[in-house]
Amino acid sequence: MTLSARNACWNAGGEAIVRDVSLDVRSGEFLGIIGPNGSGKTSLMMMLSGIRKPKAGEIFMGDRPIRSLDRRALSKSVALVEQQAETGERITARQAVELGRTPYLGAFTPWSSADDAIVDAALANVDMTHLAGRLWHTLSGGERQRLHIGRALAQQPEILLLDEPTNHLDIAHQIGLLDLVRRQRLTVVAALHDLNHAAMFCDRIAVMKGGRLVALGTPREVLTAECIRDVFGVEVEVEHGGGGDCFIRYRATTMGRGSSWMTDETPKAIRAGVS
Ligand SMILES: Nc1ncnc2c1ncn2[C@@H]1O[C@H](COP(=O)(O)OP(=O)(O)O)[C@@H](O)[C@H]1O
Ligand SMILES: [Mg+2]
């Protein structure tokens, strides 16, 4: 099933946040969304998930506008792991994953052993079986993030939307989590910050800047020094490997935004990018 945005727009507080974005998510691909903070990645993902309705334009699942699908039907096709997904409830790791079965339950379809089996498989998939009985608030950031993915897998979606899934994880857990997601063989759309992770894991990358989709293609097509300079205001060298892979080496940092690290030698594009 293809998920697509057609001229999708979102406004908030009188500002255009997502401007006229059109893209197709291909069945089975891992599509990354990159772009600076505030470029509209989360807003776009909220529209793709059906949580936010576009102010103009349309999101389609196959050839059907997703606003014509009811919430429950949509939840069986699309699962979203939000950027700041948290729970204040006193629940166990297993109960957090069980929440993924919600769209399948109803008055005539109570919880069954089939649901237990799906939750068991999801816990095993994210390597959390041994912690299933632990209370949520006693788990580390990485363990919680794995459970969020487990909950989304228990939802048995065709399309998994992940908003900055590696935030707050150490490097081993970042790589482990992206690898785990890729091994699911689902259609995945993930907003990512690390350009090298995007290069490693994505089939294609969408680049957002100021609410617009400014590039869409394979990592090799999109992750050019020119594009990264234009979008992020950072100087890089891009090294290409044999199998179409690429590696980004950062030449400068914008850590000291607007401060003393910039000299007259600082490339104009960087100065423009951080001003
Ligand atoms: N509900 C809202 N009301 C006002 N401004 C919003 C709202 N949602 C997002 N924004 C603004 O829209 C911009 C894009 O936000 P977001 O989609 O979260 O970008 P990203 O995920 O790329 O950081 C930000 O400047 C943010 O403050
Ligand atoms: Mg965001």
**3-class secondary structure for 67-107?**
HHCCHHHHHHHEEEECCCCCCCCCCEHHHHHHHHHHHHCEC
Token pair belonging to 140: 């580390």
pLDDT of residue 26: 96
- State the pLDDT at residue 84: 73
Mean pLDDT within 93-108? 95
State the closest ligand 1 atom to the C-alpha of 46, by its place in the atom list counted from 1.
Answer: 17
What pLDDT is attached to residue 105?
95
Q: How far is the centre of ligand 1, averaged over its atoms, from the C-alpha of 28 (Å)?
A: 28
* Residue in 140, 8, 151 with CA at minimum distance from that of residue 67: 8
| pLDDT on residue 167 | 86
Give the contacts of 66 (CB within 8 A, at least 6 positions apart): 50, 59, 60, 74
The yes-or-no verdict on residue 271 having pLDDT over 60 is no
d(C-alpha 180, C-alpha 165), whole Å: 12
Write the pLDDT tens digit of every residue in 110-138. Answer: 999 999 999 999 999 999 999 999 999 99
pLDDT above 90 covers what percent of the chain? Answer: 79
pLDDT at 197: 96
Mean pLDDT of the chain: 90
* Atom of ligand 1 minimally distant from the CA of 37: 23
The ligand 1 atom nearest the CA atom of 17: 12
Tokens 């204040």, residue located: 88
Q: Mutation test of ligand 1: which of 11, 37, 42, 43 has the most ligand atoms closer than 8 Å to its C-beta?
A: 43
User: How many Cα atoms sit within 13 Å of 238 on the Cβ side?
Assistant: 19
DSSP state, 203? S
152 lines ligand 1 (CB under 6 A): no
Q: Ligand 2 centre and the CA of 167: distance in Å?
A: 11
pLDDT tens, residue by residue, 241-269: 877 788 999 985 555 454 444 444 444 54
List the residue whose alpha carbon is closest to atom 20 of ligand 1.
Answer: 38
The pair of three-digit structure tokens given for residue 253, joined into one six-digit string: 């940092």
> Which pLDDT does position 241 carry in this prediction?
84
Inform me whether the pLDDT recorded for 170 exceeds 80: yes
Ligand nearest to the CA of 17: 1
**CA–CA dist 209, 35 (Å, integer):** 6
**154 lies in which domain range?**
3-272
Token pair, residue 26, equals 């291909």
pLDDT tens sequence across 37-92: 999 999 999 999 999 999 999 999 999 999 999 999 999 999 999 987 677 778 99
Residue 241 Cβ contacting ligand 1 at under 6 Å: no
Q: How many domains does the chain have?
A: 1
In this prediction, residues 202-230 reach a mean pLDDT of 97
Assess contact for 210 and 198: CB atoms under 8 A: no
Give the pLDDT confidence score for residue 199 in this predicted structure: 96
Ligand 1 probe mutation, 11, 42, 214, most atoms within 8 A of CB: 42
Instruction: Say if ligand 1 is within 6 A of residue 133 CB.
Output: no
Residue 41 beta carbon below 6 angstroms from any ligand 1 atom: yes
Confidence at residue 266, expressed as pLDDT on a 0 to 100 scale:
45
What dihedral do alpha carbons 102, 103, 107, 112 form, nearest 10°? -60
**Residues within 5 A (CB) of ion ligand 2:** 41-42
**Helices (runs of H) and strands (runs of E) counted in the chain:** 10, 12
Residue 157 near residue 1 (C-beta atoms within 8 A): no
Q: What per-residue confidence (pLDDT) applies to 269?
A: 46
Closest listed ligand to the CA of 82 = 2
Question: Measuring CA to CA, which residue among 144, 163, 202, 178 is closest to residue 79?
Answer: 163
Closest Cα to atom 7, ligand 1: which residue?
12
Closest by CA position to 208, among listed 83, 61, 51, 31: 31
> CATH number, domain at 147?
3.40.50.300
On whether the CB atoms of residues 145 and 160 are closer than 8 A, the answer is no
Instruction: Indicate whether residue 84 lines ligand 1 (CB < 6 A).
Output: no
Ligand 2 midpoint to CA 263 (Å): 31
Between residues 9 and 173, the one the model is more confident about: 9
